[in-house]
Every structure is written in C-alpha cells, then in structure tokens.
C-alpha cells in the first residue's frame, strides 16, 4: 500500500488555485498558490482518511499520478490506514487482533483511532501479525 494520492490543480476563478484529490470523494481545497493548495490538500487528505476510518468506510487506494502532483499521508496516519485496511482485507476484528497481541480490545481501538498518538512500533507489531510490514521511503519534496 502506498498512500500517495494525485491532485488535480486548476484556477479557482478568483486568482487562487483549486486542488482536488479525485480518488477521495469530497476531498477538495484551495490556496493562493499551487504550493499552498498542495499543502492544504495534504491536510484535507488526512482528514478524509480519518473520517473514512471513523465511519468504518472503505479507503480508496490512489490511482496512478500520470504526471500530476501528489500528496501523501503522514507516516503515522499511513500506518493506521494500512492496519485498518489490512484488518478489513483479512477479516480480522479488534477482538481477534487484541488476542493475537495479548492486549485489551480497547488498545486496538486506540491504534485505529486517527487522533490517538499510537507508537509506530505498536502498529508495526500489529501489521506483522497480519502478514504485513511497514517500509519507509524518503523522497525529495
């Protein structure tokens, strides 16, 4: 899973820039410059993914960027989204993962809570138990 989503940029008609993340319904924002619009898009993307997780909805994977600029989830949110998606794909519920990890089910809820500051190592452990691993890529901005 790679959480790098393409962004469509266009003139907003008022001297600014409209930014739309087409893979995520309703994920649109703007800015006075392209850079500001992209920065705002990254924030909007995180909020949209968090909302999808809280509502227990499917998180769409990004389409190819085809030369368009992209915005990427932050490391912690990407790890939480990966755990959320993997649990859905494998049919693993909170109770089952908690049992595998030797934790209370409430701890799994916290791990999946986009607003909770879960330690990345805990998310790595959970993903490993589900047959996944986290790989960090550092790229030029």
How does pLDDT run across 48-68, given as a tens digit for each residue? 999 999 999 999 999 999 999
What distance in Å separates the CA atoms of residue 120 and residue 76, rounded to the nearest whole number?
Answer: 7
CATH topology of domain 4-72: Double Stranded RNA Binding Domain (3.30.160)
Q: pTM here?
A: 0.92
Which tens digits make up the pLDDT trace of 97-108? 999 999 999 999
Residue boundaries of the structural domains of the chain: 4-72, 75-129
78-99 pLDDT, tens digit per residue, is: 999 999 999 999 999 999 999 9
Write phi, then psi, for 125 (nearest 5 degrees).
-60, -45
Q: Is 45 helix (H, G, I), strand (E, B) or coil?
A: helix
């Amino acid at each position: 899973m790679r959480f790098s989503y393409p962004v469509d940029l266009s003139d907003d008609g008022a001297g600014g820039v409209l930014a739309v993340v087409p893979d995520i319904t309703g994920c649109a924002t703007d800015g006075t410059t392209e850079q500001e619009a992209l920065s705002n898009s990254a924030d909007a993307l995180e909020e949209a993914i968090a909302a999808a997780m809280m509502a227990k909805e499917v998180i769409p994977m990004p389409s190819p960027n085809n030369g368009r600029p992209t915005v990427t989830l932050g490391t912690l949110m990407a790890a939480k989204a990966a755990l959320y998606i993997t649990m859905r794909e494998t049919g693993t519920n909170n109770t089952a993962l908690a049992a595998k990890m030797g934790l209370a089910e409430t701890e799994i809820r916290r791990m999946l809570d986009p607003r909770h500051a879960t330690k990345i190592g805990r998310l790595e452990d959970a993903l490993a138990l589900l047959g996944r691993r986290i790989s960090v890529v550092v790229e030029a901005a």
